[in-house]
Amino acid sequence: MVAGNFPSSRLRRNRKSAWSRNMVRENSLTVNDLIWPIFIQEGKNTSTKIASMPDVSRLTIDLVIENAAMAKDLGIPSIALFPQIPEELKFDDGREAINPENLVCRAVREIKEQVPDIGIICDVALDPYTTHGHDGLIKNGYVDNDLTLEVLINQALVQVKAGCDIIAPSDMMDGRVSAIRGMLEKEKYFNTTIMSYAAKYASAFYGPFRDAVGSPPSIQGGKESYQMDPANTDEAIREVIMDIDEGADSIIVKPGMPYLDIIDRITRELKFPTFAYQVSGEYAMIHAAAANGWLDVDRAMMESLIAFKRAGAIGIWTYFAPIIAKKLNLS
């Protein structure tokens, strides 16, 4: 790299005016970069505020359809659905996850009927459906990898039959991408995309999400036996390579902001489509700081998202999606 020498080179020249800054901007954020996670609940015409996530609510299917239509009008390519399952439908074996009439499947069918051109991403994991809040089945006090795979295959199958466009396994079981891809091939869903949570860390930043889907605030044993250690980077590369080899079409790094180095390394070394998930805790922190007058929420929101693009992400899961889209469409 040639940096130049002062005074012949003055880097501030290009920063003098808004138009000149725009001309040399290296990264930009567009509406096409956004994925909007939406929480769904049972009922009709009901919106329930999530206390730990300002401006985010759980919505009944009829209201989710309205938001899907708004996303389409704003140019947001896809939405991701996360359910709050009634307590009476939660069991240790997560059986509601494979019910073709469960909340997610009904929502997918109704959205596709009303807003056919919006992409729908479905989460594959058992935590919203289990009494214990783990992503898999427990045997002898341990989340059993291979027993869980069978349930995940069937969960993905009912979702794709309902019309889901992208299957997003977030469970972090070994071999789940291969198992799901094998099922999709067998069932002739050749064009269904798998966007795997390949590098999902055992993070402290998931608390508000667990409020939103009704998972236990404290999960016995934690999730460290299947989610990744925050200290590791080489392991993330191995996880991503395995998921690519097993049939993933793109991958997700979760959380986002504390793991910009992981996004950067994956995109530089593997040149594979990589998405960042700006998780609930990241979203809540920005709002909490803004509520105390410590930062400007709009500027912090935009700066945090451009950081993901700068690190190499091709897209971002963010609860700010509709707000960002409106701002981008006005600019």
Please spell the DSSP secondary structure of 280-311, one letter per residue.
Answer: HHHHHHHHHHHHTTSS-HHHHHHHHHHHHHHH
pTM: 0.95
Q: Is 90 among the catalytic positions?
A: no
Domains of the chain: 28-330 (3.20.20.70)
What is the model's pLDDT at position 320? 98
In this structure, what token pair is assigned to residue 301? Answer: 């929101």
What is the model's pLDDT at position 274? 98
Q: Is 139 among the catalytic positions?
A: no
**Which residue among the candidates 90, 112, 223, 254 is catalytic per the annotation?**
254
**Which residue among the candidates 90, 112, 200, 223 is catalytic per the annotation?**
200
Residue 280 CA to residue 174 CA, distance in Å, equals 25
What is the model's pLDDT at position 104? 98
Place of tokens 């995109």: 267
Q: Which residues are CB-neighbours of 62 under 8 A, at least 6 positions away? A: 44, 45
- Is residue 280 within 8 Å of 258, Cβ to Cβ? no
Query: Which segments of the chain have a pLDDT < 70?
Result: 217-218
What is the model's pLDDT at position 220? 80
What is the model's pLDDT at position 218? 64
